[in-house]
Structure 1
Amino acid sequence: MPHRLYIVATSGLAKETAQLADAICRVTPLWDEIAYISQDRKEIGRKLPFGVVVGTDELLIAAAESIDVAIGIGAPTARKRVAQALTQYSHLRFPNLIHPKALVDPDWVRLGIGNAVAAGCVMTCDIEIGDFNLFNLNVTVAHDARIGSYNVFNPSCNVSGNVQIDSEVLAGTGSQVLEKLQIASRCMLGAGAVLTRSCDVEGTVLTGVPARPRT
């Protein structure tokens, strides 16, 4: 039986996750095939870039052997919901997908499980990262950053040194977090926003330069 990586979801982000896995396989052939998992049985057999929709969550849950799974969802809360639903099954494994053209030194960056790190990302040193985060194209994370789980960093987001980010945070394209700041869970930093003050109120939407809570 081919060694597959299963991508949960069939959205654009799912296709990009498959593309990330394909780039990894071109350097290190970890999987023979990439396949998609849909919530809609009607999608089974649908051809997508890099693979085909082969089933629903039931296929994953019923598997008799250990299998590798990646979550192709770009909304923090949805990533968390799916991850928590699937991690209860011990035969499902959630590898970190790190693009060959990302700079992430495992001696200096501690990662949990299920993280996706796209091309052009740079992470420096003494960084701790939880589970199921998405670092999209060209994201940078500086020294001593502490990042929780289920966060989504959109392209070209910059996280400075000694920053602490809790969980389920969405950082918009081109946003910046200045040094020594904290962001509470479920906050959203708008595209191009520059955070100059910590935000300790969960669920706050921050926009502008400097970033301020949206009213």
Structure 2
Amino acid sequence: MEKIWEGLPIVIFGIGGCAKEIKLLIEEINQHNKTNVFNFLGYVSNNVEDIGKKVDGYDVVASNYNFIEFSKQYPLLGVCIGLGDPTAKYKIYTSLLQNINNIVFPNLIHPNSFVPTHVNNNFGYGNVICSGVSITTNITLGNFVLLNRNCAVGHDSFIGDYCTINPLAVVSGNVKVDSLSLIGAGSSIKENLQIGAGSIVGLGAIIVKNVEENQVYMCKAAEARRVNNEQS
């Protein structure tokens, strides 16, 4: 008897909030299609003691330490790195995943995102594009980029490997965000700028000049308001 297609078997690395939201994204991709695109098996934790625990109704099926053996059960296994921290994504891929031959890293694109397919956009692998994300034209995404809910990326922009763009952030046109950078929720980056590798743009920050590598730019509005209140 011919086996019925149940979707690409897939696991998510991580058991926190980001991983749970990506599990929901996978479910919504399946619901949007006439047949399942993915067969979600469960989560992979950094802690071997978590194996067998339930997270949002699904098992933790493996840990980082036994994942290679777990993966051998499948001729082809999809993997998503369900973490928001760019450095954590980098460490998992380079220390564990990059040399496993039977795994693939699909791009997970929410059906309610605006991602034009008829223009010159170029995506790597392992990217996650959440609900409400809007991108335009000539966008380049590296690998393992997370575009979180309702963020926007303007024309001719580049987002490097392992970057995370958090909810409601706006990356204007002709912006280059180098690898391992984190763009905080509600922040804005002016057009024609570069964010250096490994940098953090904090919650609500407004960036109007280039950011050097490994820098942290934070919004100071809340701190200034607190100081003013103390002086009044």
TM-score, with normalisation over the residues of structure 2? 0.85
Asked if the contact 2:41/2:61 (under 8 Å) is kept, the reply is no
Residue 197 (structure 1) aligns with: 209
2:124 to 90, 107, 112: 112
Instruction: Label 1:59 to 1:202 Cα distance change in 2 as closer, same or farther (>3 A).
Output: same
Instruction: Give me the whole-angstrom Cα distance separating, in 2, the residues matched to 1:77 and 1:32.
Output: 28
Shift of 1:202: 1.1
Asked if the contact 2:205/2:217 (under 8 Å) is kept, the reply is yes
1:157 to 153, 169, 180: 169
Asked if the contact 2:47/2:64 (under 8 Å) is kept, the reply is no
Which whole-Å deviations, capped at 9, do the CAs of 1:23-50 have from their partners, x for residues lacking one?
Answer: 1111131123341111222211211125
Query: How many residue pairs align between the two structures?
Result: 209
Secondary structure class of the residue paired with 2:217:
strand
Shift of 1:107: 3.5
Asked if the contact 1:169/1:185 (under 8 Å) is kept, the reply is yes
2:91 to 78, 81, 87: 81
* Residue 36, structure 1, aligned to residue 43, structure 2: yes
- Counterpart amino acid of residue 161 in structure 2: S
- Counterpart amino acid of residue 151 in structure 2: V
Instruction: Label 1:177 to 1:95 Cα distance change in 2 as closer, same or farther (>3 A).
Output: same
The sequence identity of aligned pairs, in percent, is 33
Secondary structure class of the residue paired with 1:132:
coil
Instruction: Give me the whole-angstrom Cα distance separating, in 1, the residues matched to 2:191 and 2:89.
Output: 27
Give the 5 Å matches for 1:42-191: 42-49=49-56, 51-62=58-69, 63-64=71-72, 65-85=75-95, 86-108=97-119, 109-191=121-203
Asked if the contact 1:194/1:209 (under 8 Å) is kept, the reply is no
Instruction: Label 1:142 to 1:16 Cα distance change in 2 as closer, same or farther (>3 A).
Output: same
Instruction: Give me the whole-angstrom Cα distance separating, in 2, the residues matched to 1:33 and 1:69.
Output: 10
Which whole-Å deviations, capped at 9, do the CAs of 1:107-133 have from their partners, x for residues lacking one?
Answer: 432110001111000010011110001
Q: Greater Rg, structure 1 or structure 2?
A: 2
Instruction: Give me the whole-angstrom Cα distance separating, in 2, the residues matched to 1:159 and 1:5.
Output: 30
Instruction: Label 1:98 to 1:50 Cα distance change in 2 as closer, same or farther (>3 A).
Output: farther
Asked if the contact 2:13/2:79 (under 8 Å) is kept, the reply is yes
Once superposed, what is the RMSD of the aligned Cα atoms? Answer: 1.8
Moved >6 Å (runs of 4+): none
1:17 to 10, 17, 22: 22
2:217 to 188, 203, 206: 206
